[in-house]
A and B are shown apart, each in its own frame.
Chain A
Amino acid sequence: MKVSVYRYNPETDREPSMKEYEVETNGKDLMVLEVLNLLKEQDPSLAFRRSCREGVCGSDGMNINGKNGLACITPLSEVAPGVKEGKKPLVLRPLPGLPVVRDLVVDMGVFYQQYEKVQPYLQNESPAPAIERLQTPEDRAKLDGLYECILCACCSTSCPSFWWNPDKFLGPAALLQSYRFLADSRDDATEQRLSRLDDPFSLFRCHGIMNCVSVCPKGLNPTRAIGHIRSMLLERGV
C-alpha cells in the first residue's frame, strides 16, 4: 500500500514535504501505528511518538487522512474506504496548529500550558480524614466521561477557536479537565476555579463547533463539559 508522510527535519530541510512510501501489509487490517513501525524499519530517520500502543497513553495523536486520531487504535479499514486495499494512500500529518519539531512530532508546550492553567489537581482545604474522603457512587459517576482524558491533544488541535487563540482560549482538553475538578464532590475550590474562567477568552471562545467531540479517541465530550461550566458561570452571575 501507499503511504504519504509529512517529513520535516529542522536541521536539514528548508521546508516540510510529503514523502511517499510503499509498504507491504499483505492486505491485513493493521493499525496505523503498525504501518508506521514498518516504515521506521525502512527509514529509521522517521520521527513519531508512541508508547502504550493500545490507546491509553496518548502519545501518537496525529492527523490521519485529514482527521485527528490515535495511530495505535485506528485500523486502516477505518481511515477511509480503499486505504486498506491499497487503492488510496494513507496520508499522515502532524497534529494541526502546533509547531512541528520534526516529522510527525509537534511541540505540545502550549497545550500543556493551558492544561496547567486550570489547576488540574484536587483542592480541598479541610483536613483529610484518616480514611478516604467519602463519595457516593452518584457523585463519583459525575466524573465518568471526564477523568478518562489521555491528553493526546486530538481535540484541541482540531478546534478552530484553539487555532486562532491557543494562548488565550484554554481549548477543549483543558476545559474538560477543569470541569473534571468542578464536578468532583471532594473539591472545594469551585468559586476560584470559576472566577479564573470568567473572561471573554478562556472558555467563552468555544463556539460549539464540536470538532473535539467528533475526534476524541476516548469518546469523550468536551463540548458538553464546557456547556456545564457555562451554566455554572451563569448561575453564579445571577
Chain B
Amino acid sequence: MSIRTITFDAIVVGGGGAGMRASLQMAQSGFKTALISKVFPTRSHTVSAQGGITCAIASADPNDDWRWHMYDTVKGSDYIGDQDAIEYMCQVGPEAVFELDHMGLPFSRTEEGRIYQRPFGGQSKNFGEGGQAARTCAAADRTGHALLHTLYQQNLKNGTQFYNEWYAAELVKDADENVCGVIAFSIETGETVFFKAKATVFATGGSGRIYSSTTNALINTGDGVGMALRAGVPVQDIEMWQFHPTGIAGAGVLVTEGCRGEGGYLINKDGERFMERYAPNAKDLASRDVVARSMMMEILDGRGDGPEGDYVYLKLDHLGEEVLHSRLPGICELAITFAGTDPVKEPIPVVPTCHYMMGGIPTNVHGQALRMSGGHEGEDQVVNGLFAVGEVACVSVHGANRLGGNSLLDLVVFGRAAGLYIEDALRQGMTQYEPSDDDIDAALARVNRWNDSKDGESVASLRKELQSTMQNHFGVFRKGDLMEEGVEKLAKLRERIANAHLEDKSSAFNTARVEALELDNLLEVAEATAIAASNRTESRGAHSRYDFPDRDDENWLCHSIYDPKTKQLGKRDVNFEPKTVDTFQPKVRTY
C-alpha cells in the first residue's frame, strides 16, 4: 500500500512536558523536528501537574544539596531506581529548572526574588538526618500548566513543526527490528502518513486510564507502551503503579501533595490525624505509597467516612483563607467544583487514586530504548532509532515509588538529555533505517483491522470491563489468587477486543476510531501490568501484596522485564554505580 511519506531528522510523539522539552532542544539546534500530538499540545496531561518540580536549587535552603535529593529519591524508589540515572537527574536538575525560568515560566517567588520552594513528601535534608526539606519549586499550584505553556511557547519561537491532533498508531520497523518512524493519521481529515525519521522519540505519557478511578486525563491511554509492546520492545517495572493519596472521592480529580506540604493533614471519620500512627516522623509527608496504604488501612478498618465509609479527609481550613487562596488557589476551585466543599471551611473527601506509571519502556540516560538480548533476560541492547522520555519511559529514576515533584523534573531533564544526545548523533551522521513496503503494510494492519470490522462488541463496554478488572484485581493491595483471576479475565478480553467493532468509518474528526485504537493500547498496558504484578512475589514500593508482605532483596532487588513476545517476566539488574557519589545501600525504609 502506498501512503505519503514525510521525512524529518527527528520526530517526537507526544506534546507534554517531556516531548516538548526534547523537540525544543532539537529545534533550537536547527534540526528538522516534528512533534506529533493527538491533542493540541497545551491539552496534554502535564497541564494537570499542580504542586511543583522538585530540585535542589538552594532557594528555600541555601545549603541544599542535590545529593540529599538523590538520597531521598533512591529511598523513595525502594531501592530499584537506577542510581546513575537518579544522580544525573538530581545533579543536572538545577540547570534544567533555571532554563525554565529563563524561558519565562512564572514561578512563585520568595522575598529574595528567588523561586519559591515548598515541602513535599519523602523530602529530607542531610541524607535523612536533617529533618523535612522544602525542595519543590512551584508556580502556585499550577506548575504543570505554567511549565507546559512555557514549553509550547518556546517551541513556537524555535520553529518546531507541530502535527497537532494527529494520532500515532504504530511504529514502523525494518526486518532487523530497527525503528524507522511511525504511522500516524490526521484526526481532522483521516489522512494517513508514514513519518520517517532517524530518531523517533516516544513521549506519550502514562496510562492511568487502565483503571476505573484515576487522576489521569482521558487521553492517558498508554499509546507509546502499546506501540512498543506490539513492536516487540519490552517494558520494565510495569507492575509499579502509584496511587496518589489525595484524589477527590468519587471524581478522581487530583489534590496536590503540596496541600500537605503547606501544612494540611489527613484525618479519619473520628477526626484523628492517623498518619502519626503510621509514619511518626514524616507523618503526612511520608512518601506516597506509605500514605496511600495507611489511608486504605483506615478505610478497611472502618474509619472511613461517607455512606459507604470509603474515604477519609484532607484538612486545610487551619491554614487560613489567605494562604489557601495565594498558595493553593487551583485546589480551592477544584474542591468546590468536584467535591462541593470549600477547603477554607471544610475538609476535602479524598481517597487513594491511580496516578502514575513508574514502569515503562526501559531506557538509558540518553533516552535510548533498550531490549534484552534474550527477550526477557540477557544483556541490554539499544533499539536503534527509538527513544523514550517522561512517563512512558523507565530510565529508571522512580523505581517502585515516585516522589512527588520528581515527575516534572524527570520530564525536563530527560527530554533535554534525549534532545542533546540526538543532536549530537545527528551531527555525527545518524542512520536512517529504510522499511520495505511490507514493513509499512505491517504497521498499517491494526488500523485496517478496525476499519474493516463488520460487527462485534462496542469499544465503550469493553473499555469499562478492562478498567474494572484492573481496579478490582490490581489495586493498592494485591493478592496472588485475585491477580491470577485478573490475568485470565484480561486474556479473554484480548480475544474479545480483537473482534470488537468500529461502527463509524468516517474520516473527519472520527473520535470513535481514536478510542478504538486507544483500547488496544490500554489492553497491552493492562496485560503487561497484570502479568508482571502477579509474578513479582514480594512487596516493594507501590506493589503491595497480602501474600508476600515483605520486601525480598534476595530475589527481587531488581527490575522486572516483561517480554511481549513470550509474555514472560525476567529480571534486570538495578544500577548501583553512581559516578560521583558513593552507592546508597538498601536499608529498611521507614518515614
Contact = CB atoms under 8 A, between A and B. Distances in A.
A223 B91 CA distance: 44
A57 B104 contact: no
B459 interface: yes
- Of the listed residues A9, A75, A116, A148, the one surrounded by the most CB atoms of chain B closer than 10 A to its CB is A148
Interface in A83-128: 101-103, 105, 108, 112, 116, 119-122, 124, 128
Contacts of B254: 54
Nearest to B95: A130
Interface string B481-522: 000000000000000000000011011111110010000000
Contacts of A10: 508
B498 to A, nearest CB: 19
Given A45-B512, A56-B145, A101-B509, A128 B102 contact: yes
8 contacts: A11-B506, A49-B39, A54-B253, A101-B188, A108-B40, A124-B102, A136-B109, A150-B47
A143 B508 contact: no
Interface majority SS (helix, strand, loop, mixed), chain A: loop
Interface string A153-175: 00000000000000000000000
A69 interface: no
A56 B109 contact: no
A41 B460 CA distance: 6
B103 A122 contact: yes
Interface of A: 9-12, 40-41, 44-45, 47-59, 73, 75, 101-103, 105, 108, 112, 116, 119-122, 124, 128, 130-137, 139-140, 143, 147-148, 150-151, 181, 184, 186-187
Given A45-B506, A116-B156, A121-B156, A131 B109 contact: no
Given A11-B507, A136-B109, A148 B145 contact: yes
A121 B154 contact: yes
B217 A51 contact: yes
A102 B509 contact: yes
A47 B509 contact: yes
A181 B103 CA distance: 12
A102 B508 contact: yes
Contacts of A133: 101-102
B362 to A, nearest CB: 28
A132 B98 contact: yes
Contacts of A108: 40
- Of the listed residues A9, A75, A122, the one surrounded by the most CB atoms of chain B closer than 10 A to its CB is A122
Contacts of A128: 98, 102
The 7 tightest CB contacts between A and B, nearest first, are: A122-B104, A134-B113, A132-B101, A121-B153, A102-B509, A44-B512, A57-B43
A136 B108 CA distance: 9
B104 A187 contact: yes
Contact of B510 (A47, A75, A136): A47
Contact of B459 (A11, A44, A51, A119): A44
Contacts of A130: 98
B98 A55 contact: no
A189 to B, nearest CB: 11
Interface string B530-567: 00000000000000000000000000000000000000
A51 B507 contact: no
A51 B39 contact: yes
